Amino acid sequence: NAGVTQTPKFRILKIGQSMTLQCTQDMNHNYMYWYRQDPGMGLKLIYYSVGAGITDKGEVPNGYNVSRSTTEDFPLRLELAAPSQTSVYFCASSSDSYNEQFFGPGTRLTVL
């Protein structure tokens, strides 16, 4: 049982480039989330999904897109990367909206 896995662990992008952050969970959780965490700050919700085929915006969705074609996978797409998107990105999953969330190890992204 791997839990929540994320790839890559680290990435440096140039301004204007695009990339996809991968997230997979093997716990059969319906709920999945993408957060960003800036230094010394709390987690900010980017997008979330309550099940395959259903996604919704969180607090800071601008500049990002997601899809949820399967229960296991919830990729996050960055289009036209900007320096403001330099952050640590965490993917998480939970069995329900009021249950604990399990986090992946994070992706450290730098946009130069």
Partner 1 sequence: GQNIDQPTEMTATEGAIVQINCTYQTSGFNGLFWYQQHAGEAPTFLSYNVLDGLEEKGRFSSFLSRSKGYSYLLLKELQMKDSASYLCAVTDSNYQLIWGAGTKLIIKP
**Footprint of partner 1 on this chain (CB under 8 A)?**
33, 40-45, 48, 58, 90, 97-98, 100-106
CB of 80 to partner 1, least distance (A): 27
**Pair 36, 44: CB distance under 8 Å:** yes
CB of 30 to partner 1, least distance (A): 12
Residue 33 or residue 74: which is nearer to partner 1 going by CB? 33
Residue 106 or residue 111: which is nearer to partner 1 going by CB? 106
Rounded Cα distance between 103 and 53, Å, is 21
Residue 8 or residue 16: which is nearer to partner 1 going by CB? 8
CB of 98 to partner 1, least distance (A): 5
13: Cβ contacts below 8 Å, ≥ 6 apart: 19, 78, 81, 109, 110, 111, 112
Nearest residue to 66 via CA among 91, 88, 102, 38: 91
